[in-house]
């Protein structure tokens, strides 16, 4: 049977009006769908701190979010409006059925695409605790096979697929039912003036929906804060705009198009940024890098001892979960006694929220530039940074090794770090062949942590010269698998901890046991160091790349807690300072500078950060998300509450500008 509209040979303006009404109804229905996505995000990840937030702020967040959603729908409505205008002029040449089919296909595809982005945003938020950023493109750079295995092991893929299929079918039928219903012959007529007026009103209304504001800036350029609560502000944001921003940042970052010197307010006077970072009143404008030069104190004991230096970056080892450490929740296991006995900086945060983007700033003595892809995967991939930490140790007579428990092709780490002063780059293949590992000794991302530590110990015992070793572990990572021979200690989740967890509790429990394994292995490695001859000539650092467990945790103070990671130091008794202030704030940019002063005598180095032992310098921890930690507490960039925080806010902008200057100088040198 023919579609009734197909018998109508020519379109009338009244039928166009009917289709306008139907598409507006469709837009309202999808606005409701977008609000449901936002509500699901809100319900799933509501933190405990929300109990202190007034209800009017939560309502305001949803209202602002709906305005952002309406802006998205306004953009989506531009093409249909143009179609309606064209159809009004060409109605005698267009059959109604063709306009209906065009509108049906368009809205179905657009709504499906937006739904996919919102679903991806939900998944991203569940892991990282924020809306989509450019790091979503890291999915394409990670091990695809490993990611698929993670999805299979941690999620009910058949159920998710069935739900997605059901949603798609429902969307298809709804759009089809509303748009493709028969159009009746016209019963009334609008004059030319009436037609023009209606189309003009439709065009203006669409424009206003896109802007979402009558002010100077459209709403998508003015995503204001609704509340003093970080989560409430996040709820008001929109995943589609977040994706658009991520794409823009990714493209710019690949080609180093971002100008952070200008963005941070130092265009035309970059020397001021160097003054702030170094604390010096004067710098040489013709040789700004020279102002970063520092020299460690002369120490005859260090010259004689030349201790091995081992820096371990433990995957996703955030500190906040350790505050629930107890006999019944022994998350630290064998690491606890070392944390109690030795030096642990307690106000230390990660440079960024991903592995490679924290690894690079630490090993290059820089701070992270927000919204950029890794140097090793950008136009900088063949650059050799003058600030690289391994170069300092190699110049001092050390054999330098970059060690990763996974594949060296991951994020181009093998190639990039081979240019940064490391004598050797060693991954899971080297570890496996040396230790004669079997298939069960691997998980999806690499070797189990215990074998990485075994390999480091073997390398130290065989060493004929001082060693500088950087090692990155791969456990404490989805799909959270334990080594078959490991016996975990039961973790009892207290009511207080449970109140701060969100999401699938069984998956969280699995994650916590992998957490325990990773920390226990780090502790056992320290046992081996401290219980043998290496205790007298080996310095060990335990830190982390990030605190990604924040995706399933809520915090009483997000800025203060969410980015905290350990900076633990074991120092042989002979070179251990009498007193170290562990309350000094810092981040990855400061770690190597601190280590230089404790392990190297009369040695020059370049660093954006500074030694945490130097009480003459301003100390601030910087995370690329905009969280800053000062001696007067943590805050969000641009929102200092006191003089100490204001100083750190200025320091953040200066450190980013200086880092960008160093990077851009390398490009300029290559071009010259």
Q: Identify whether residues 248 and 384 lie together within a single domain.
A: no
pLDDT at 1: 44
Which residues are 313's β-sheet partners? Answer: 472, 543
Nearest to 347 by CA among 595, 640, 555, 590: 590
Q: Identify whether residues 238 and 284 lie together within a single domain.
A: no
Q: For residue 578, is it within any domain? A: yes
Enter the tokens of residue 487.
């016996």
CA dihedral of residues 171, 140, 505, 443 (deg, nearest 10): 140
Cβ atoms of 305 and 534 closer than 8 Å = no
Nearest to 417 by CA among 470, 477, 353: 470
CB atoms within 10 A of CB 466: 19
Enter the tokens of residue 61.
């967040």
Instruction: For residue 540, report the phi and psi dihedrals to the nearest 5 degrees.
Output: -125, 130
Helix (H) or strand (E) holding 442: strand 442-443
Question: How big is the chain, counted in residues?
Answer: 672
Q: For residue 258, is it within any domain? A: no
Q: Identify whether residues 174 and 279 lie together within a single domain.
A: no
Cβ atoms of 628 and 639 closer than 8 Å = no
Strands 308-314 and 627-630, how do they pair?
unpaired
Helix then strand count (H, E) for the chain reads 22, 16
Q: Identify whether residues 480 and 434 lie together within a single domain.
A: yes
Q: For residue 293, is it within any domain? A: yes
Q: Identify whether residues 280 and 233 lie together within a single domain.
A: no
**Burial category of 365 from C-beta neighbours within 10 Å (exposed 0-12, middle 13-18, buried 19 and up):** buried
Q: Identify whether residues 284 and 199 lie together within a single domain.
A: no
Q: Identify whether residues 109 and 160 lie together within a single domain.
A: yes
**Gap between the Cα atoms of 461 and 255, Å rounded:** 44
Structural domains in the chain (count): 2
**Gap between the Cα atoms of 622 and 589, Å rounded:** 8
Q: For residue 638, is it within any domain? A: yes
Nearest to 544 by CA among 309, 324, 318: 318
For residue 16, the enclosing domain spans 4-252
DSSP string, 476-533: SSTT----TT--PPPB---HHHHHTB-S-HHHHHHHHHHHHHHHHHHHHHHHHHHTSG
pLDDT at 226: 77
DSSP string, 591-652: HHHHHHHHH-SS-EEE-SS--TT-TTS---EE-TTSEEEETTEEEETT---SHHHHHHHHHH
Q: Identify whether residues 130 and 206 lie together within a single domain.
A: yes
Q: Identify whether residues 285 and 226 lie together within a single domain.
A: no
Cβ atoms of 270 and 73 closer than 8 Å = no
Q: Identify whether residues 218 and 349 lie together within a single domain.
A: no
Q: For residue 17, is it within any domain? A: yes
Enter the tokens of residue 37.
């996505």
**Gap between the Cα atoms of 127 and 491, Å rounded:** 22
Helix axes 588-599, 356-364, angle to 10 degrees: 40
Domain boundary among 202, 218, 252: 252
Residue ranges of the chain with pLDDT lower than 50? 1
**Gap between the Cα atoms of 521 and 7, Å rounded:** 75
- SS3 for 232? helix
Instruction: For residue 347, report the phi and psi dihedrals to the nearest 5 degrees.
Output: -125, 55
Domain boundary among 217, 252, 287: 252
**Gap between the Cα atoms of 548 and 127, Å rounded:** 7
**Gap between the Cα atoms of 322 and 332, Å rounded:** 7
User: Sign of torsion, CA 165 168 174 176?
Assistant: negative
Instruction: For residue 245, report the phi and psi dihedrals to the nearest 5 degrees.
Output: -65, -40
CATH number, domain containing residue 493? 3.40.720.10
Instruction: Give, as one character, the DSSP assignment of residue 216.
Output: S
Q: For residue 342, is it within any domain? A: yes
pLDDT at 182: 87
Q: For residue 587, is it within any domain? A: yes
Q: For residue 127, is it within any domain? A: yes
Enter the tokens of residue 574.
């002979």
Phi-psi region of 577 (alpha: psi -120 to 50; beta: other; left: phi over 0): beta
Q: Identify whether residues 355 and 495 lie together within a single domain.
A: yes
Q: pTM to 2 decimals?
A: 0.80
Cβ atoms of 647 and 632 closer than 8 Å = no
**Gap between the Cα atoms of 319 and 299, Å rounded:** 33
Instruction: Give, as one character, the DSSP assignment of residue 465.
Output: S
Q: Identify whether residues 187 and 244 lie together within a single domain.
A: yes
pLDDT at 117: 93
- The HSE-up count of residue 594 (CA atoms within 13 Å, CB side) is 31
Q: Which residue has the tokens 């081979």?
A: 418
Q: Which residue has the tokens 């690491």?
A: 335
Query: How far from the centroid of its chain's Cα atoms is residue 592's Cα?
Result: 22
């Amino acid at each position: 049977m023919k579609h009734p509209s197909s018998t109508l040979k020519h379109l009338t303006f009244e039928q166009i009006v009917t289709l306008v009404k139907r598409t507006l109804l469709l837009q309202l229905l999808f606005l409701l769908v977008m609000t449901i996505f936002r509500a699901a995000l809100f319900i799933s990840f509501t933190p405990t701190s929300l109990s202190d937030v007034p209800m009017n702020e939560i309502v305001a967040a949803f209202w602002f979010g709906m305005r952002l959603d309406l802006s998205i729908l306004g953009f989506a409505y531009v093409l249909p409006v143009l179609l309606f205008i064209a159809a009004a002029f060409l109605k005698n040449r267009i059959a109604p059925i063709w306009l209906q089919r065009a509108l049906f296909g368009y809205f179905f595809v657009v709504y499906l695409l937006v739904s996919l982005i919102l679903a991806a945003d939900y998944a991203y938020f569940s892991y990282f605790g924020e809306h989509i950023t450019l790091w979503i493109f890291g999915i394409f750079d990670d091990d695809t096979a490993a990611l698929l295995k993670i999805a299979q092991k941690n999620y009910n893929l058949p159920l998710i697929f069935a739900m997605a299929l059901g949603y798609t079918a429902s969307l298809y039928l709804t759009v089809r039912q509303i748009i493709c219903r028969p159009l009746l012959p016209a019963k009334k007529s609008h004059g030319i003036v009436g037609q023009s007026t209606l189309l003009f009103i439709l065009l203006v209304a669409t424009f206003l929906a896109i802007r979402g504001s009558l002010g100077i800036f459209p709403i998508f350029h003015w995503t204001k804060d609704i509340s003093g609560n970080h989560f409430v502000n996040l709820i008001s944001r929109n995943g589609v705009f977040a994706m658009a921003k991520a794409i823009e940042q990714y493209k710019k970052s690949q080609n180093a198009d971002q100008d952070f010197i200008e963005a941070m307010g130092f265009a035309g006077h970059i020397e001021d940024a160097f003054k702030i970072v170094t604390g010096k009143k004067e710098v040489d404008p013709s040789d700004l890098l020279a102002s970063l030069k520092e020299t460690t104190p002369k120490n005859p004991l260090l010259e004689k001892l030349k201790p091995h230096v081992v820096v371990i970056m433990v995957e996703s080892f955030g500190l906040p979960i350790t505050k629930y450490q107890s006999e019944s929740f022994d998350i630290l296991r064998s690491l606890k006694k070392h944390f109690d006995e030795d030096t642990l900086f307690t106000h230390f945060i990660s440079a960024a929220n991903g592995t490679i983007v924290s690894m690079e700033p630490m090993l290059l003595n820089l701070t992270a530039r927000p919204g950029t892809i890794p140097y090793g995967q950008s136009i900088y991939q063949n650059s050799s940074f003058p600030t690289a930490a391994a170069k300092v140790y190699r110049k001092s007579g050390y054999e330098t090794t970059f060690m990763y428990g996974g594949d060296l092709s991951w994020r181009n780490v093998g190639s990039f770090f081979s240019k940064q002063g490391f004598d050797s780059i060693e991954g899971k293949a080297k570890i496996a062949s040396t230790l004669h590992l079997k298939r069960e000794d691997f998980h999806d991302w690499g070797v189990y942590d215990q074998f990485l530590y075994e390999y480091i110990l073997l390398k130290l015992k065989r060493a004929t010269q001082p060693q500088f070793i950087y090692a990155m572990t791969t456990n404490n990572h989805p799909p959270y698998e334990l080594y078959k021979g490991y016996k975990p200690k039961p973790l009892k989740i207290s009511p207080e901890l449970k109140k701060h967890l969100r999401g699938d509790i069984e998956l969280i429990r699995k994650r916590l046991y992998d957490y325990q394994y990773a920390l226990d292995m780090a502790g056992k490695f320290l046992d081996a160091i401290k219980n043998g001859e290496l205790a007298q000539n080996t310095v060990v650092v335990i830190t982390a790349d990030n605190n990604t467990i924040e995706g399933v945790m809520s915090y009483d103070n997000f800025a203060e807690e969410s980015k905290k990671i350990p900076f633990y130091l074991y120092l042989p008794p002979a070179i251990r300072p009498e007193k170290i202030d562990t309350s000094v704030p810092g981040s990855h940019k400061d770690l190597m500078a601190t280590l230089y002063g404790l392990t190297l005598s009369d040695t020059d180095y370049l660093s954006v950060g500074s030694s945490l032992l130097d009480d003459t310098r301003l100390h601030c921890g910087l995370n690329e998300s905009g969280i800053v930690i000062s001696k007067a507490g943590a805050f969000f960039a641009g929102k200092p509450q006191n003089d100490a925080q204001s100083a750190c806010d200025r320091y953040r902008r200066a450190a980013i500008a200086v880092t960008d200057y160093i990077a851009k100088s390398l490009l300029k040198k290559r071009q010259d």
